[in-house]
Amino acid sequence: MLVMMKRNVTPLCDRHHKPMQLAQFGASNIALNFVAHRCMVESCSRVYQHGHGYIDVTDVISFEQAERRDCPEDQMTLYLAAIEPDGNQIWHCGQVHCEYVEKINPHERFHVMLKPISAGSDSSSRNQPYAQMEAVGTSTGEKLVGPCLPWPLTLTALSVFGQNAVQVAGIRNSLLNGTSVELAGIMSPLCVPEQQLRKAGLKRPTTSSSATSSPIFI
């Protein structure tokens, strides 16, 4: 799909929550000029570039603290459009002709589950369970899901949640027994912000995949 941003919209800076303005950029680590929305707060380097999300641009472009929310309908990036009086954030898809809107409670915390996925007759799955992560918001009940992953990639995702060797062994046993398992923190069930879920590859389910229950393998 062609990356094409809506005209006449005003993204807010994801750090300052102030309106951004279109500006022309040229950065020394890329060989092109581009137009994107920049924060007008002095000394703020934040830029919303459709297709990349929020990035930092000084004399170079930095993706180090990139903040990217993907639209589940077209995989384009969302921009922060408004902050409600109660602090909830309203994110809109930046892509032309897409009306997708997402409401985010920045204080929401999630519990994380791992569900075993039957990988059919594949015998290698006997010791290497396939699994899918699912997270549920503790106050909103909102659900995020990850892709179905083979065990080595599940391990990588688990490292985001700081699981130790003992916890990982327990998780693997549960999955091999065909049982779902909830990730635990130090004293109680793990409770994490959404940003951490996105680092581990979890997303809001797409409209089409939530209608069918068939998992997506990668």
Nearer to Zn ion, 92 or 115 (CB): 92
Minimum distance from CB of 161 to Zn ion (Å)?
28
* Whether the Cβ atoms of residue 182 and residue 113 lie closer than 8 Å to each other: yes
Nearer to Zn ion, 46 or 115 (CB): 46
Cβ neighbours of 70 (radius 10 Å):
17
Nearer to Zn ion, 185 or 205 (CB): 205
β strands within 40-121, DSSP E: 46-49, 53-57, 61-67, 78-83, 89-93, 101-104, 109-117
Nearer to Zn ion, 42 or 86 (CB): 42
Minimum distance from CB of 110 to Zn ion (Å)?
23
- Residues forming the site for Zn ion (CB under 5 A): 13, 15-16, 39, 41, 44, 46, 71, 73-74, 76, 93, 95, 98, 100
Minimum distance from CB of 9 to Zn ion (Å)?
13
Minimum distance from CB of 27 to Zn ion (Å)?
18
Q: How far is CA 47 from the centre of its chain?
A: 19
